[in-house]
């Protein structure tokens, strides 16, 4: 079964950090661009970051550049998002997703909730 399973979300204080993980199974992970997309409560989708199959190209939305880092471990079929200096506006469900090209993503996880609050 093709699957992405996120973990690592939770409640964190402003200025804090979290490391989100995404475990892939059922497909050839190294064939896929991977991305993180978030959705604030009651709001629309917002793209956060993407990483190429070999990990040598990474892209970020302006609002997280310098605070978030996307990475992957192809040996472990895993994707990560290190989130630092978290703000209230980073509160959202974070989805990992994968695609083989065209900046379109056809495999999605169920999401992990990040809540930034004091």
Residues at the site binding other proteins, with contacts judged by CB under 8 A: 35, 37, 44-47, 50, 59-62, 95, 97, 99, 102-106, 108-111
Based on CB atoms, which residue is closest to other proteins, 29 or 105?
A: 105
Based on CB atoms, which residue is closest to other proteins, 27 or 47?
A: 47
Distance in Å, CB of 35 to other proteins, minimum: 7
Q: Nearest 10 degrees: CA dihedral of 83, 88, 90, 92?
A: 120
Distance in Å, CB of 37 to other proteins, minimum: 8
Question: What CA–CA distance (Å, rounded) separates 28 from 45?
Answer: 26
- Residue 72 is encoded by which pair of tokens? 């992957």
Distance in Å, CB of 114 to other proteins, minimum: 16
Please, is 13 exposed, middle or buried when counting C-beta atoms within 10 Å of its C-beta (0-12, 13-18, 19+)? Answer: exposed
Based on CB atoms, which residue is closest to other proteins, 24 or 97?
A: 97
Distance in Å, CB of 108 to other proteins, minimum: 4
Q: Nearest 10 degrees: CA dihedral of 75, 64, 111, 57?
A: -30
Based on CB atoms, which residue is closest to other proteins, 16 or 91?
A: 91
- Residue 41 is encoded by which pair of tokens? 């409560």
């Amino acid at each position: 079964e093709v699957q992405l399973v996120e973990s690592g979300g939770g409640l964190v204080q402003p200025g804090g950090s979290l490391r989100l993980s995404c475990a892939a199974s059922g497909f050839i992970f190294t064939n896929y661009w991977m991305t993180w997309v978030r959705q604030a409560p009651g709001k629309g989708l917002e793209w956060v970051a993407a990483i190429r199959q070999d990990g040598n190209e990474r892209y970020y939305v302006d609002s997280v550049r310098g605070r978030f880092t996307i990475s992957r471990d192809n040996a472990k079929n895993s994707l990560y998002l290190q989130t630092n200096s978290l703000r209230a506006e980073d509160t959202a469900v974070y989805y990992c997703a994968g695609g083989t090209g065209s900046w379109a993503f056809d495999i999605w996880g169920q999401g992990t909730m990040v809540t930034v609050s004091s």
